[in-house]
Chains A and B, each alone.
Chain A
Amino acid sequence: MSAGSAGATALQLLFAGVGNGAIYALIALGFNVIFKSTGALNFAQGEWVMLGGMIAAAAIASHAAIWAGCLVAVVTVAAVGLLSERLIVAPLKRPTPMLITLLSIGLAISTKSVVMLVLGKDPAGYPGFSGDAVLNVFGARIPAQTLWIIGITLAFIVIAHVFFERTILGKSLRAVAADRDAASLVGINVQHSVMWSFVIGALAGGVAGAIITPQTFTSYDQGGLIGFKGFSAAMLGGIGSLYGALVGGLVLGLLETFAAGYVSSHFKDAVAFIVLLIILFALPSGLLGRSEAERV
Chain B
Amino acid sequence: MGKPSDAIDPISGPVNTAARDERRRALMGGRSLLLLIWLALLPVPLLGFNDYVVSLGTSFLINLILIASLNVLIGYCGQISLGHAGFYGLGAYSAGILSAKLGLNPWLGLPVACLVSASAAVVIGIPALRIKGHYLAMATLGFNAILAVLFDQLVPWTGGPNGLLGVKPLAFGSFALSSQARIFPLVWLCSGLVMLTLLNLIQSRVGRAIRAIATSEIAAGALGIDAFRYKLIVFVLTAAMAGLAGSLYVESNLYASPESFGFSSSILLVAMVALGGWGRYSGAFLGALIYTGAPQLLLTFQDAQLLIFGAGMIAVLLFFPGGLAGAGDSIARLRQRYWS
Contact = CB atoms under 8 A, between A and B. Distances in A.
Interface in A20-74: 40-41, 43
A272 B217 CA distance: 29
Contact of B317 (A106, A270, A277): A106
Interface in A241-296: 266, 269-270, 272-273, 276-277, 280-281, 284, 291, 294, 296
Contacts of B278: 102
A165 to B, nearest CB: 27
Contact of A228 (B78, B133, B138, B313): B138
Interface in A210-256: 221, 224-225, 228, 231-232, 235, 239
Interface residues of B, number: 44
A270 B146 contact: yes
Interface in A88-123: 88, 91-92, 97-99, 101-103, 105-114, 116-117
Nearest to A277: B127
A103 B306 CA distance: 15
Contacts of A231: 138
Contacts of A114: 307
A228 B139 CA distance: 9
A112 to B, nearest CB: 7
B264 A221 contact: yes
Interface stretch (B15-23, B34-42, B267-275, B292-300): B267-275
Nearest to A221: B264
A105 B139 CA distance: 15
A277 B130 CA distance: 12
B314 A110 contact: yes
Q: Identify the interface centre among A92, A109, A277, A281: most chain B CB within 10 Å of its CB.
A: A109
A109 B304 CA distance: 11
Interface residues of A, number: 45
A284 B139 CA distance: 12
Interface in A161-179: none
Contacts of A106: 271, 274, 310-311, 313-314, 317
B31 interface: no
A190 B185 CA distance: 56
B80 A102 contact: yes
A117 B142 CA distance: 26
A232 B310 contact: no
Interface in B114-154: 124, 126-128, 130-135, 137-139, 141-143, 145-146, 149, 153
A221 B145 CA distance: 12
Given A107-B314, A270-B149, A113 B143 contact: no
A98 B78 contact: yes
A143 B306 CA distance: 37
A223 to B, nearest CB: 11
B124 A277 contact: yes
B309 interface: yes
B142 A276 contact: yes
B130 A280 contact: yes
A117 B304 contact: yes
B142 A273 contact: yes
A269 B309 contact: no
Contacts of A269: 145-146, 149
Contact of A105 (B127, B271, B303, B306): B271
Interface string A114-143: 101100000000000000000000000000
A238 to B, nearest CB: 12
B218 interface: yes
B332 interface: no
Given A103-B314, A106-B314, A109-B313, A116 B146 contact: no
Contacts of A294: 132, 217-218
Interface of A: 40-41, 43, 88, 91-92, 97-99, 101-103, 105-114, 116-117, 221, 224-225, 228, 231-232, 235, 239, 266, 269-270, 272-273, 276-277, 280-281, 284, 291, 294, 296
Interface of B: 78, 80, 82, 124, 126-128, 130-135, 137-139, 141-143, 145-146, 149, 153, 217-218, 263-264, 267-268, 270-271, 274, 278, 303-304, 306-307, 309-311, 313-314, 317-318
24 contacts: A40-B134, A88-B314, A97-B134, A102-B274, A102-B313, A102-B317, A105-B267, A106-B271, A106-B274, A106-B317, A107-B310, A109-B309, A109-B310, A109-B313, A110-B310, A113-B307, A239-B133, A269-B146, A273-B145, A276-B138, A277-B128, A277-B139, A277-B142, A280-B130
